[in-house]
Structures are given as structure tokens and as C-alpha cells.
A = this chain, B = another copy of it.
Amino acid sequence: MDLMANTPQYQRIADELRAQIFDGTLDAGAQLPTEAELMERYSTARYSIRQALGVLVAEGLVVSKRPLGHFVHAAKPLVYRPQAEFKKKEPNLDIFAQLLADEGEGRVPSQQIEVSIVQAPPKIRERLGAGENELLAARRRTRFINGEPYNTNDSYVRYELVKDSPYVVAADYEPGTNQLLADLGKPLVRALDEIQVRMPRPDEVSRLSLSPGTPVAEHLVTTLTFHDEPVQVTLNVLNANRHKIVFERTRTWPPVHEESKGTESA
């Protein structure tokens, strides 16, 4: 009836609910009115209500907990610090646990580690400079916080390099694999970080228990020696909504003899 603007009804309903979420009328964790109530309030068909809710779900603002109702998304973002993987303050604390300790807040970390010998996907292989059929040692890890999946962390190195080391047998090698690689004569000196964001594939939705409207960040780290030899490639996949990715850089401006450290020529 009232097509006041040409913005569709469900959008206007979504806009109204979204505004209530942002201004605090509906605060984090609060339950939204049920579909039946919204149908009555806006005197419209269920379809339009569901579309409006669908918009908010797709935006990650609202989650549906069947059969309880729709709720304002409450999860606070965690901090994801790629550099933390390289700055171990407490030698005997797992990096992951330490990252959480920095956050405080009494979160309980846990992880599943699985080591295997694989032929890696092209994306990994080309960054590692490995041959077409070369075997790689893989450490696939799923990290949890309070039992909920946090991210996946899959590292790859040439099998040849680590075949006689604890890398392939001990799932939780204590000093850490970075130290292990340093001991093997391959200290990790430089790293190249590539971050790509996309909507998840169905298998990732289940591995990370993602709700609809949740993008994932794919963080690929190639670590290199002094001589720019790639040693390890790590693929992190994480719920991009729930993470803040933090980097720190030095020596940026003005550029001081940058020309001498270019990367183009090997």
C-alpha cells in the first residue's frame, strides 16, 4: 500500500531494526521480536519479515537460534596478531595460549593437532618452491576457545627438511617449530603475509562452526631465511568477523635507502 519511497518494505523493516541495534534499543545479546510479532507490528506477510531478518543475519548483526528466536549478535572480536607467532615471551607457553593470556578474560584454549605427509595444493607448493610431486610435512591444527572453533592453522614444510626431526612425530613439540627450524639451520628471518577475505566454503562453515553472513580471512604466511629461501608456509583460516588483525611496522617514512633491500631479484 504505502510505497512511500521505492525502497522495499523489507529493507525499511531491516533499517529500522538495524538502527535499534546501533542505538542500543536492542543491545548485544537481546532477543528480537518473534516473526509473528513482527508480522503484526508491520502488518505484513511472513515472507517480508523473514527477508528483513535475513538482511540482518547476512550482515552478521543478528543470529538465529532455533527454536528460540533471533538475537543481536554478541560476540566481541578477538585480536589476531600475526606477529605474535614470532614473539614468544614465555618460552614454555604455547603461542596460542599466550595470545589468549594477553587478552585476559579467562578464555580456555585448546587445540587439535594432526601431523601428516601430503602432496600440497598448488597455492602452498608454489610459495614453498616445491616440486610438483614433492612430499610435504603438514601440521593441521584447529584451535578452540571455550570449546568453540577459533581458527585453523595448517603449516607446511618440505618433508625432506624435517624427516629425521620431531616435526613429523611430535604433534606438540615443546620448543616450537620455529625453534626447530632454526636448529635445522633455517632460521626464519623474513615473512610475507597475504590476507584474503571471502565468504567461506561449506566445509569451512562446518570446520569453524560459522553462522551465515560470516566472512573468513585466509592468512597465508611464507617465512624465509636470510637468503630468501622459503622454509615454511602456514595457512590460517579464521572467522573474519570476530577478529581484529594487528600489524606493526617500522622505518616507513621518509624512505631510508630502500633501494638496497629490494626483493625483485632473487
Contacts and interface: CB of A to CB of B under 8 A. Distances in A.
Interface of A: 15, 18, 58-61, 77, 82-83, 86-88, 178-179, 182, 187-200, 202, 212-213, 215, 217, 223, 240-241, 243-255, 258, 263
Given A245-B194, A250-B189, A240 B255 contact: no
Contact of A199 (B60, B77, B223, B243): B60
A190 to B, nearest CB: 5
Given A86-B252, A247-B247, A252-B86, A215 B190 contact: no
A243 B88 CA distance: 31
Contact of A193 (B18, B187, B247, B258): B247
Given A58-B199, A77-B196, A215-B199, A191 B248 contact: yes
Contacts of A199: 58-61, 213, 215, 241
B248 A195 contact: no
Assembly stoichiometry (copies) = 2
B223 A252 contact: yes
Contact of A240 (B15, B200, B202, B215): B215
Contacts of A240: 197-198, 215, 240
B251 A189 contact: yes
Contact of A83 (B60, B88, B249): B249
16 contacts: A58-B58, A83-B252, A179-B254, A188-B253, A190-B248, A190-B249, A190-B251, A191-B250, A193-B246, A193-B247, A194-B244, A194-B246, A195-B244, A195-B246, A196-B244, A199-B215
A209 to B, nearest CB: 17
Contacts of A61: 199
A19 B212 CA distance: 19
Chain B CB within 10 A, most for which of A215, A249, A254 = A249
Given A188-B252, A247-B247, A198 B241 contact: yes
A86 B217 CA distance: 24
A263 to B, nearest CB: 8
Contacts of A195: 195, 244-247
A248 B192 CA distance: 5
